[in-house]
Amino acid sequence: MIEELRKKIDELDDKIAELYLERQRTVREIGEEKARTHAAVLDPAREKKIIARVTKQADDEQKIYLKRVFETILETSRAYQRRLVAPVTPLSDNLRRVLMEGKKYFPVSSTVACQGVEGSYSSIAADKLFEIADITFFRNFEGVFQAVEKGLCDYGVLPIENSAVGSVNAVYDLMKKHRFYIVRSIKLKVCHHLLAKKGVALSDIREVYSHEQAIGQCSAYLQKLPSSVKITACPNTAVAAEMVANSDRNDVACISSRNCAELYGLGILESNIQDNDSNYTRFICISKTLEVFAPANRISIMMTLPHESGSLNRVLNKFSTLGLNLTKLESRPLPGTDFEFMFYFDFEGQIENSDTLSLIAELDQGTEQFTFLGSYYEVAQ
């Protein structure tokens, strides 16, 4: 019985495929006409009419499924037409101009802004990205953005996410405020150690300093310490090491790197105290100007979406239709709004690909707020 039904399904599938291909041939003709008349690919009113018409044929049980099928058909039709009618925006023109300048290679040396003090993980990332990094340190993440924006430094290096505790929300929130482009990223393995002045024993410790992310990454270890030990957050793991080194107290320790132990003359009380041995932090390198360095294979964008059902799913379908692998999706609330969000997307792709560039232009045209954050290469350590 089931084999007979499957045979019938196969026959129906063949008919659907035949009709779909016939539809695509007509879609191409419409696309060619749109290209000739400079008409937009997307016609929301027309698509709503199509959905309304075809779903009238279905009962209540099947209506939602038929709607989803035709939403996918319409999305693939638009993707096909975009090859014929490439959307043009100031952003896409700017990207094409940058690409026409030819391949550029990441600089060997430059001035770089980092948050914290010498020995911070951001500075370690900067030294990995540049063979010669002339680093200027700033008190907070906003100082790094401002240094790049004002031209005080050519580049800035900032932590963006950690494999154990997730996104660095403070950086994501600042990304909404500042103009910049991501030109490279690096995934750095992070090993945390408990540091104190030389000669101090673990039993002497009454307070531990570190950055909130490092505290979160070492939560299991910290829970094993006596409840009387105070855990104090500070701006940076290197700042924490500096605080311990400069303190008059002998009962304080910090969670920091082996590099900081050497820099600030501290001893290591406990090594590798992070909860997960595969503890990685991802850093981005930002620039004031739009630059695409070979071999760029990752793209980041941010946008707002209509506060309505299915708006995020429609955007995700665009990536799926083009076979683009989404590697990161983050949402952050927009202050002063009624539960509206800014969405951040990272995906694998080459900006020189015409389909990808057309998608960027379409999103730029079709969303209230859209920002292209960069096309770049990610270095793995």
Q: Which one of the listed residues 76, 237, 281, 371 is annotated catalytic?
A: 281
- Residues annotated within a binding site: 6, 23, 34, 43, 47, 77, 81
- Residue 256, helix vs strand vs coil: strand
pLDDT in tens, 273-330: 999 888 899 999 999 999 999 899 999 999 998 777 778 888 998 899 889 999 999 9
Over range 98-114, report the average pLDDT: 90
Tell me the per-residue pLDDT of 172-195, one tens digit each, with 9 for 90 and over.
999 999 999 999 999 999 999 999
How many angstroms separate the CA atoms of 153 and 137, rounded?
10
Chain-centroid distance, C-alpha 172:
9
Instruction: Residue count of the chain, please give it.
Output: 381
The annotation places the binding site for substrate at 6, 23, 34, 43, 47, 77, 81
pLDDT confidence tier of residue 365, bands split at 50, 70 and 90:
confident
- Reported as a pLDDT band with limits 50, 70 and 90, residue 40 is confident
DSSP 218: T
Provide the percentage of residues in the chain whose pLDDT is more than 70: 100
Average pLDDT over residues 344-361: 92
Task: Reply yes or no on whether 283 is catalytic.
Answer: yes
pLDDT at res. 157: 98
Strand order from edge to edge, sheet including 193-197: 230-233, 207-210, 252-256, 193-197, 266-270
**Mean pLDDT within 140-160:** 97
Higher-pLDDT residue of 141, 354:
141
Please compute Rg for the chain using Cα positions.
26
Check residue 243 and give its pLDDT: 96
- What pLDDT does 39 receive? 83
**Nearest CA among 287, 221, 258, 253 for reference residue 121:** 258
Domains and CATH numbers, the chain: 2-82 (1.20.59.10), 90-189+280-380 (3.30.70.260), 193-270 (3.40.190.10)
Q: Rounded to whole angstroms, how far apart are CA atoms 239 and 256?
A: 9
> What global pTM score does this model have?
0.84
Query: What ranges in 38-59 are assigned the alpha helix state H?
Result: 44-55
**Which pLDDT does position 133 carry in this prediction?**
96
Catalytic choice (137, 138, 141, 283): 283
Alpha carbon 49 to its chain centroid, in Å, reads: 36
For 98-108, what is the mean pLDDT? 87
